[in-house]
Structures are given as C-alpha cells and as structure tokens.
Amino acid sequence: MGRSTTRNTARRTARTLIAGAALAALLLPTATGPAEARTPVPAARPAAAFQHPGVLVGARQLAFVKGKLAAGAEPWTSALADLRASKYASPDWQPKPRATVECGSSSHPNNGCSDERDDSMAAYAHALLWTLTGDQRDADKAISLMDAWSGVIREHTNTNAPLQTGWSGNNWARAAELIRHSGAGWSTGSVDRFATMLRTVYVPLLTPGSPRKNGNWELIQTDALMGIAVFLDDHGLFDRATDLWRHRLPAYVYLSSDGDLPVPPPKAGIQGQSALVTYWNGQSTFVDGLSQETCRDFGHTGWGLEAAAQTAETARLQGLDLWGEGRERLLKALEFHTGYDNGASAPDWLCDGSLNTGLGPAVQLAYNEYHLREGLAMPQTEQYVAAHSPFGANYFIGWETLTHTDAP
C-alpha cells in the first residue's frame, strides 16, 4: 500500500490515544423519572444533544471496565477472556452480506438470517474489544463487517422480517456507536452509508412495532429502534421507541394493580378475558411478575425482559429514567422467573404445573440496575447470576457480565 510500518504503527497508536481521550471526556447523565403508571406519561426527549457513545454502553462504563481489567479484577477479567474465546471475536471472521435477507417463521427459510445476526454480533464483539483493549485490528474488523453489509443489503422479507431487523439492528447500532465515537478510523463516507442502511432498511420495519405478535417481538424492535435513534441523532425515532416501550411493557408483565386481567397489548384488538387468556398462552391466573410468554417458555420471556432492560439502559445514558418507570414490573418479573430457574416447583395453577425454564443471559442489566445501583433485594436473581455468569452472547444480547457488572 506504500505506507511504512513506522507510519502505520504511529497511526494506530494515535487512534488508540484519541479513543481513550474521547471515552474519558464523555460523562453520562443521571436522571430520575416518574413512577410507573398504567397510563403512559407523555414521551420525554433526552437532552438537546445525544450523549455518545450512548447505545447500551457509555463512556463512564467503558472507563470503569478498563480500570477493572487493568487491575486484573473479577469477574471482568474472566468475562473478557470469554469474549475473546467467542467465535464472534475471531480475527478470521469473514462477512456474508446479501441484498435480500429472507426469514420465515422460526427462520425457515433461513436465507441470510443467521449470517446477518452473526455478522452483526461479530461487529459488536470486535467493537467492544477495540474500545476495551485498543487493538486497531479489532476496530478494522468491525468496520469491515459494517461496510460489507451497508454496501449490499436492500431489504428483509418474509414473516420474521420485523423480528430479524430487531435482532440485527440492535447489534449493528451498538457496534456502530462504539466505532464511530472512539477514533477508530471509520471514514465519513462509510458512516453515512451505514446510517442510510439503518434508516432505509431497518427503521421502516421497526417503527410500526408488532402489536399482535408475542411481546418479545415488539420489545426487541423497540430496543433496536432506540439504539438506531441515538446513532442517527434522531429525536423523533427516540420518542417513538419510548412510546412503544411505555405501552408494551405493561402489556407484557402483569401487576395486580392492573386489575383482574392483564393490560391488553396496544393496537392489537385483543380484548376480554377469553382473548387475553389465549394470548397469555392459556394462563388464567395472574400474579405479580407473570409474563405474557411465561407459559410459552422462559427463553422467549427472557428475550422480552432483556429487550425492555436494554432499552431502559440506553434511555438512562440519554437522561431518561425508564428504569424507574418500569421498576416494579421488571423487578418482580426477574424474581418470579429466576425463582423457578433456580429450582422451585411450579404450582398446578401456573402453566398447568409445567414450565419450560431457562432465561439465558437475560438478567444482568436489570440486576445491575436494581440490586447493584439501587440496592434493592433480588435474592433469586442474585442466585441465578452467581450460577450462570459470565454471560455470553445470544441473538441480540452480548457479554453483559463484562460491560455491566457494577457499571456506574
């Protein structure tokens, strides 16, 4: 390429120093918000300027984790090793972009669905490694993955298209946010092309939500939409994501204050006891913390709860306290489900006495917020975290033991 090794080394060193300075200079806002109410409060925008990096992880968190890693502290050191050992962190990872990603029910057919999800997760893995270790090779790999897809993809099709855009859109937004705001060397032209991809290929399938689907769909879409809104500096999209979250969470997690029946899902036309019981997978007895998908399986329930938590964490970085608004629902939902994951027997009234447990890596964010930041008791969730961490990657969830244990 005509560049000397000395110049190349100097360039990489300069980028690393710029990244460290940029991350250290950015401070995350803290805010408190209204208590949760069944009737959503009007959408509140963040400060006039978005905070960057500010999609799921922010500058203070990254500086905190880097300090822990420098000290060889646990569980961060083991969690970083877990990230490095992941297939997604391979330096030999090669992208597989395509113009049309076709995803049917349960990803059948799977024409590019797994490839897109995996490439987007690999981009996030390398972006995390770059921001935490300063290795330019990871920055370059993340950039190459994002550039490959932004230059090719044009649409998502078939029945799972909205959910696919949510899964992949989450990972893309997080990777892009870290790379763009860390001095990684992503060119302005490439950033603009990637932003156009998000706005034209992803946003149109995310903004309507999925009111008649199981609730994890719309919560995952909401999570992706908020992350993309921050990356694009788009207040209108941020407001839309906030509105979706405020309407969907009360329809996903039951509280006795809702009345005898759960809150109907917004704009779904599902009303009355019979329709709601069917929508709640046959469950007719409702208790605090029960989810709309509890009697389906805990895996999808975990996705829904985690998507709600990830949205709240991005909102927190932007000065909006969705954590406070969703506190009672999320706290009780995590304690309810981890109790059964920890070995409690299901009573006969719950899902006919048979549960398909296994929340997966879906508890770290809420545990960090409510127990480690706020000091609230979460004994069942604490037991679950101790038994299952460090948490790795799953569809749109990635290495949150590393990024969020004790995170400020």
Kindly give the residue spans of alpha helices, DSSP state H, lying in 71-112: 76-85
Beta bridge partners, 55, equal 57
What pLDDT shows up at residue 107?
A: 86
What pLDDT shows up at residue 181?
A: 98
| Cα distance between residue 359 and residue 366, in whole Å | 13
What pLDDT shows up at residue 47?
A: 54
Q: Of 7, 86, 173, which is closest to residue 402 (Cα–Cα)?
A: 86
E strand or H helix that includes residue 156: strand 155-157
pTM (whole model) above 0.95: no
The answer to whether 377 touches 383, Cβ cutoff 8 Å, is no
**35-44, 50-59, 159-168, 344-353: least confidently modelled range:** 35-44
Q: Which tens digits make up the pLDDT trace of 248-299?
A: 999 999 999 999 999 999 999 999 999 999 999 999 999 999 999 999 999 9
pLDDT at 383 over 70: yes
Percent of the chain with pLDDT over 70: 88
pLDDT at 382 over 70: yes
Q: Of 229, 127, 253, which is closest to residue 169 (Cα–Cα)?
A: 229
pLDDT at 15 over 80: no
Torsion angle defined by CA atoms of residues 208, 210, 211 and 212, in that order, rounded to the nearest 10 degrees: 140
Q: Which residues contact 61 (CB under 8 A, 6 or more apart)?
A: 28, 403, 404, 407, 408
What pLDDT shows up at residue 48?
A: 74
| Cα distance between residue 308 and residue 143, in whole Å | 28
pLDDT at 33 over 90: no
Q: What's 202's DSSP letter?
A: I
pLDDT at 123 over 50: yes
Binning pLDDT at 50, 70 and 90, where does residue 22 land? very low
Domain positions in the chain: 5-404
Q: Of 23, 12, 18, which is closest to residue 66 (Cα–Cα)?
A: 23
Beta bridge partners, 264, equal none
C-alpha angle with apex 79: 320 to 96, nearest 5 degrees? 80
Q: Which fold has domain 5-404?
A: Glycosyltransferase (1.50.10)
| Cα distance between residue 123 and residue 209, in whole Å | 25
pLDDT at 139 over 60: yes
**44-58, 71-85, 370-384: least confidently modelled range:** 44-58
What average pLDDT does the chain have? 90
- Neighbour tally for 187: CB within 10 Å: 10
What pLDDT shows up at residue 18?
A: 34
